[in-house]
């Protein structure tokens, strides 16, 4: 093992949904650890430019390509792989992070909304992994794959039926891909955040009472920025995790370990 087992120097990573939120935090942490980065985003916007700049500040190469992963894979997969090869050949790290939450209450959910959730949260990662892993097997590359799951893969919430289904599928997929790819020296794991502050959870910044309740519901009392996910991602992609296969590591401040907190008698959130 190298003197710094967390060093990603010499590696090149593709991070889907890598322009903002948890994906940006992962990309920046990987850059800080020395990896060159290819970010895959929905569009080339200010958020993408900011994340690219923050990655490049660490002295690595960082590039951007765009694609809509909510579509069926045959609409984009071949073009995406071709563009990735041109922008950053020899990728050996894949972070399947792209995802969304667009649920309506269960009885109001429609098929297209459900399908968009499944395509983006599950299907895209499955087929990107298939494309890159098949190449790695042919070229004897010891690739490393990380999925972004969610605490919702284990714990359910009302009005999150499609999202919870998709994140449960990610946890199962990581186990199945592990037993398929580990014999080829390809590692597959997942990092599953609890509640962190991203554009998808901006309601916390607008509703102080909900923010206070979620802090109370978390043993360490925090609802942090997505930066807390970066170090976990680097660990799971690094040599330090060489014998970690098929696992989902929750980054949730202990929320998943707590059945339910008692509301203090004098609790009076804003």
Residue 200 — pLDDT band, cuts 50, 70, 90? Answer: confident
Q: Between β-strands 144-148 and 187-193, what pairing exists: parallel, antiparallel or unpaired? A: parallel
| pTM metric for this prediction | 0.94
Q: What is the pLDDT of residues 203-245, one digit of tens each?
A: 788 888 888 878 888 889 898 899 999 999 999 999 999 999 9
Contact partners, residue 99, CB within 8 Å, separation at least 6: 17, 120, 121, 148, 150, 166
Instruction: Tell me what the pLDDT averaged over the chain comes to.
Output: 94
Tell me what pLDDT residue 270 has.
55
Contact 36, 12 (CB under 8 A): yes
Nearest to 241, CA basis, from 233, 252, 229, 230: 233
Tell me what pLDDT residue 216 has.
83
Residue 137 has pLDDT above 80, yes or no: yes
DSSP state of 178: H
- E-assigned strand segments in the chain: 12-16, 36-41, 62-66, 93-96, 144-148, 187-193, 248-251
Q: Within a 10 A sphere around the Cβ of 134, how many other Cβ atoms?
A: 11
Please report, rounded to a whole number, the percentage of residues in the chain having pLDDT higher than 70: 98
DSSP state of 152: G
Tell me what pLDDT residue 150 has.
95
Nearest-angstrom CA–CA distance, 82 and 71:
18
Residue 269 has pLDDT above 60, yes or no: no
Tell me what pLDDT residue 195 has.
85
When pLDDT is averaged across residues 5-29 and rounded to a whole number, the result is 97
Q: Which of 144-148, 170-174, 202-206 has the lowest mean pLDDT?
A: 202-206
Residue 261 — pLDDT band, cuts 50, 70, 90? Answer: confident
Span 12-256 CATH architecture: 3-Layer(aba) Sandwich (3.40)
For 206, half-sphere exposure in the C-beta direction (CA atoms, 13 angstrom radius) is: 6
């Amino acid at each position: 093992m190298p003197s710094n087992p967390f060093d990603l120097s010499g590696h090149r990573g593709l991070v889907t949904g890598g322009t903002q939120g948890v994906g940006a935090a992962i990309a920046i942490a990987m850059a800080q650890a020395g990896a060159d980065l290819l970010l895959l985003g929905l569009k080339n916007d200010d958020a993408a430019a900011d994340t690219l700049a923050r990655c490049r500040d660490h002295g690595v190469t960082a590039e951007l390509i765009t694609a809509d992963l909510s579509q069926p894979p045959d609409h984009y997969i071949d073009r995406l792989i071709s563009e990735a090869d041109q922008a950053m050949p020899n990728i050996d790290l894949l972070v399947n992070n792209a995802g969304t939450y667009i649920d309506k209450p269960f009885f109001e959910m429609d098929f297209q909304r459900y399908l968009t959730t499944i395509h983006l949260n599950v299907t895209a990662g499955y087929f990107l992994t298939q494309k890159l892993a098949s190449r790695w097997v042919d070229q004897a590359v010891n690739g490393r794959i990380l999925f972004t799951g969610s605490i919702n893969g284990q714990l359910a919430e009302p009005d999150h039926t499609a999202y919870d289904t998709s994140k449960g599928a990610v946890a199962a997929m990581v186990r199945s891909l592990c037993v398929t790819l580990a014999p080829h020296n390809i590692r597959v794991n997942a990092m599953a955040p609890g509640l962190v502050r991203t554009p998808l959870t901006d309601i916390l910044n607008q509703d102080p009472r909900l923010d206070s309740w979620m802090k109370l519901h978390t043993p360490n009392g925090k609802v942090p920025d997505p930066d807390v996910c970066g170090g976990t991602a680097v660990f799971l992609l690094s040599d330090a995790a060489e014998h970690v296969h098929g696992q989902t590591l929750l980054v949730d401040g202990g929320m998943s370990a707590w059945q339910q907190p008692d509301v203090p008698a004098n609790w009076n959130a804003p």
